[in-house]
Structure 1
Amino acid sequence: MTEQTPSVTLSPAWQRRFDFFSVYGLPNSSPESKAVYRSLPFGTKMRIGSNFPAFFFGPIYFFVKGMWRKGLTLFGIAMALSVVLVVLDVSDNVARAAGIAVASVAMSTANYAYYLHVTRSSQSWNLFEGFGRRR
């Protein structure tokens, strides 16, 4: 881990995630990363691609990890979506589904966002920074 900043010490789980991201990028960013990701055991795939504390705590998780800009973006998305759903007077099931969707965005973006925060000192507001195909 030569890219890691000295002020942050990482647990072995985070080191494994960072190693994968530094070598392959996001799991679906290239054919090579997709092939390697698919060959991993299910538990390892879940640890690399998902972050359950981010699912349950959302913006608070981003704030605690020091990614306050992305946390505010996620909070703003959640509030805007809530306002739209209240104005449209949608059913409780639709509102719950929207809440789960916002939580799923937090869960799926948190690991790579933290990787960018630690290794590249990312100060972006974009939750999806780095997502997309590599060229």
Structure 2
Amino acid sequence: MDRPYDVWKLSESWRIRFAYFETYGPVPWTLEARQGYRALSFWDRVRLSSNVSAFLFGPMYFFAKGMWRKGLTLLGVVGAVVAAVLLADVGGVIERMAALTVPVVAATTANYAYYLHVAEGSRSWNPLEGVFGRR
């Protein structure tokens, strides 16, 4: 397969992620993909399905990786969530859950978004692009 990127310029973690995404797509929905996912080591599965840096830095992580369109979208979602929580004055548990919404979305979508950005040249504004099945 002719790749538009140099796989050897990627770290080992990114090579594992990219190899999985090239073979199975973003999520293990098919039996073959689930078997491939289970064949990975525990830490490789963790690295594949989440991104700690994206969780901690949210939209800024997307900007740093060159996915500024998706970062701006996430920043807009942050603004909307903050405004909704402030206007609703819900407090307590709901406020904390709302505060985790964007970091969790960023952490679970960043890996596949970066794959699409590097491997397929995606310039989409949608941070959930392709997450619910192949593009």
TM-score (norm 2): 0.90
CA distance in 1, matches of 2:47, 2:33: 15
1:61 aligns with 61
Which residue number in structure 1 is paired with residue 28 of structure 2? 28
Give 1:74's aligned residue.
74
Which consecutive unaligned segments of at least 5 residues does structure 1 have? none
**How many residues matched?**
134
Measured in 1, the distance between the counterparts of 2:29 and 2:66 equals 25
- Normalising by structure 1, we get a TM-score of 0.90
Q: Which amino acid aligns with 2:27?
A: P
Same amino acid, percent of matched pairs? 46
State the Cα deviation string for residues 85-127 of structure 1 (Å, max 9, x = none). 1000011432221121210100000000000000111000111
Aligned to 2:88: 88
Q: Closer, same or farther in 2 for the Cα pair 1:129/1:112, shift >3 Å? A: same
1:115-134 matched pairs, under 5 angstroms? 115-134=115-134
Displacement of 1:29 in angstroms is 3.7
Tell me if structure 1 keeps the 8 A contact 2:62–2:70: yes
Q: Which amino acid aligns with 2:76?
A: G
Query: Shift in Å at residue 35 of structure 1?
Result: 2.2
Amino acid in structure 1 at the alignment position of 2:116: L
Q: What's the counterpart of residue 113 of structure 2? A: 113
Question: What is residue 19 of structure 2 aligned with on the other side?
Answer: 19
Structure 2 segments unaligned to the other structure (5+ residues)? none
Q: Residue by residue, what CA displacement relative to the aligned partner does 1:69-89 show, whole Å, maximum 9, x if unpaired?
A: 000011111110110110000
The answer to whether the 8 Å contact 1:54/1:107 transfers is yes
Matches within 5 A, 1:3-14: 3-6=3-6, 9-14=9-14
Alpha-carbon contact 1:51-1:108 (below 8 Å) kept: yes
Q: Residue 41 of structure 1 aligns with which residue?
A: 41
Q: CA deviation at 1:47?
A: 0.6
The code of the aligned residue for 1:100 comes to L
Name the amino acid aligned to 2:102.
Answer: V
Q: Give the aligned residue type for 2:55.
A: F
In structure 2, C-alpha distance between the alignment counterparts of 1:129 and 1:109, rounded to whole Å: 8
Farther off after superposition, 89-98 or 71-80: 89-98
